[in-house]
Chain A
Amino acid sequence: MSTGRSVAALVSLSLIAAACASGSAEIANGPLTLTVGAYTTPREAYREIIPAFVRDWKQQTGQTITFEESYLGSGAQARAIAGGFEADLAALSLEPDLETLVKAGLVAPDWKASALGGGMVTQSIVVIAVRPGNPKNIKNWDDLRRPGIKVLTPNPRTSGGAMWNLSAIYGAALRGATSAPAGDSAAAESLMRGILANVAIMDKGARESILTFESGVGDAAITYENEVLVSRKAGKLMDYVIPPATILIENPIAVVDGYAERHGATKAAQGFVNFLSTPTAQRLYAEHGLRPVHDSVAAEYRSKFPEVPGLFTIRDIGDWPRVTQVLLAPGGVFERASTRTAATK
């Protein structure tokens, strides 16, 4: 009956392997695993920041930490964490996605107090990536509406970057920096509709979107400034245009207390959040294209990150609740624009 015994052995081995693979150590100050759920863009930055933190933490406390990272579109990541992905840290693209976790009871309502810059750990701006030399001569948001221009932007349901993109267009139009009259909501909507009609591909996340652009598709990609910088650092050829008015992207991070407490990881996770505000980490962010929030580091990198005359924040156009409502609610601008897009194709 050796067959039977081998089978039994194999089954037991599989079960043991499964059990081992799923558990994680929870001894106090013993080795610890921290899990980070992040949006797609800051991959490269965290690849360097995390080892720096691990070294720093080991020096300070003697504890060895291993990291597990997951990168998804910001909205998708927020849903995953709310749906059971036990991340100790949520590094997302925009505030509303973190608020999703607050509503799910996983993040403390006062998360903003826990880091420099009011919970925001990096900044960026929305830019338009174009082919080298800007052959289609794109200067402003209106140019994206021209017939024949193929635009890339991700899907706002899953991607934080897409939300920033749409807010930038909407805000710029409302503030009179485009052909649309200032304060004219309908005209702003019409501009957005026109641009969306030119969208060639709607990827799930900002990273996927810029990769598609790199693969030769599209004339212009609306994206984070840092995505372009990382892409160019990787040797891809592209230029980028900063429109006269664009939005300041502010990226939050928070400890996911709901899970971190269960893993005994709260202290380490908070330590990581604190570390992100230090000049060391902020410099690493800057090296990877993200605008630092730390004042002195920002001064160091002024030449890399140009000033934007028409810069505005989400608070200048009514803050997230209003903008999300206008853009994403059923019957909102995005839905109407997509439907009309279909009708005109």
Chain B
Amino acid sequence: MSVAAVTRASPIQRVMRGGVFFYVAVLVMLPLVALASSGLSNGLAGVWHAITSPVAADALLLTLWTGALTAVINAVAGTATAWVLVRFRFPGRGLLQALVDLPFAIPTLVTGVMLVLLLGPTRPMGRWFESHGMEILFAPPAIVFALLFITVPFVVRAVEPVLAEMDPAEEEAARTLGASDAAIVRRVILPSLLPAIGVGALQSFARAIAEFGSIVVVSGNIPHKSLTGAIYIFGEVEGGRPDVAAAVSLVLLALSFGLSLGARALRDRVGGRRG
């Protein structure tokens, strides 16, 4: 099937290979190595010291729990959205499809600006929240709101193809045997969907912990309260401590990449099982 397995790479192919490698080496590997070098300049002890300093530790914890919450909410809402998109026909379905992709198209800074316009203390919604004693803007809830916006597509797009390809025969069989809707969902549909939901959830988690542009506008950046890891790193860069920033970056990057790898592994299982 693959011709390349039989023949040796042609000169053109080898030039392309070299060019691609060179590009990636200079543009990606080199800067990341510089980052790693700076972050590890005080050794692993230095990294530990950097991430356990009070402000950094709280920032990383905030990043983790807001990311996890986002992933969980997306798992539910995203699956429901995918189900609606796949199993229903209704006017405006195309619009819903397009809306789901919106976060991929729109700048994160604009997202932040929109949220400030929506929730600012001088705006109707903002005033309503404040009069009820709820702190949304410049507090963790605003962070979660921004993250939910940014990560809408992941679970939906991961679940849709699986749902669409599901053989309705099993569902039919269950229905004819008298199973209720809820039981069918729980026993027949969900088990097949779980890996895909997992993929989407892990991807949204990974994306959420790396977010910067929208959070810097809506969170207030208060140490120990609404300062996330990415913004802490930004602060350390501006505050003249790039080695601390790099150390914390390495940890955050490891987390994010680990989650992506987890999503990849899950995805391969989904693909492989049906291969």
Contacts and interface: CB of A to CB of B under 8 A. Distances in A.
**Direct A–B touching, Cβ under 8 Å:** yes
A204 B220 CA distance: 10
B160 interface: no
Contact of B138 (A73, A78, A201, A345): A201
A202 B223 CA distance: 8
Given A200-B138, A342-B54, A79 B225 contact: no
Interface string B242-274: 000000000000000000000000000000000
Interface string A209-226: 000100111000000000
Contacts of A217: 121, 138, 220
Given A158-B239, A216-B120, A216-B121, A200 B221 contact: no
B224 A341 contact: yes
Nearest to B227: A202
Interface residues of B, number: 17
Given A215-B121, A216-B122, A75 B239 contact: yes
A138 interface: no
Interface in B199-223: 220-223
B235 A201 contact: no
What range describes how many residues of A lie at the interface? 20 to 34
B55 to A, nearest CB: 7
Nearest to A204: B238
A92 to B, nearest CB: 13
A73 B238 contact: yes
A201 B239 contact: no
Given A158-B238, A201-B221, A204-B238, A342 B58 contact: yes
Contacts of B224: 338, 341-342, 345
Secondary structure of the A side of the interface? mixed
A331 to B, nearest CB: 11
B238 A75 contact: yes
A72 B58 CA distance: 26
B127 to A, nearest CB: 9
Interface in A65-103: 72-73, 75-76, 78-80, 82, 100
A72 B239 CA distance: 11
Contacts of B240: 75, 78-79, 82, 100, 157
Given A215-B122, A342-B58, A204 B221 contact: yes
A216 B220 CA distance: 13
Interface in B30-68: 54-55, 58
Contacts of B222: 199-202
Given A217-B138, A338-B55, A157 B221 contact: no
A212 B220 CA distance: 9
Contact of A203 (B121, B221, B225): B221
Contacts of A80: 238
Interface string B115-146: 00000111000000000000000100000000
Contacts of A79: 238-240
A215 B218 CA distance: 12
Interface string B168-179: 000000000000
Nearest to B225: A345
A229 B58 CA distance: 36
B54 A76 contact: no
Contacts of A72: 238
A332 B141 CA distance: 32
15 contacts: A75-B238, A75-B240, A76-B238, A79-B238, A80-B238, A155-B221, A158-B238, A200-B138, A204-B221, A215-B120, A216-B120, A216-B122, A338-B55, A338-B224, A342-B224
Interface of B: 54-55, 58, 120-122, 138, 220-225, 235, 238-240
CB-based closest 9 A-B pairs: A216-B121, A157-B239, A76-B238, A342-B224, A79-B240, A201-B220, A158-B238, A339-B54, A158-B239
Given A155-B239, A203-B221, A216-B120, 12 more contacts: A76-B238, A78-B240, A80-B238, A158-B239, A199-B222, A200-B138, A200-B220, A201-B138, A201-B222, A204-B221, A216-B122, A345-B225
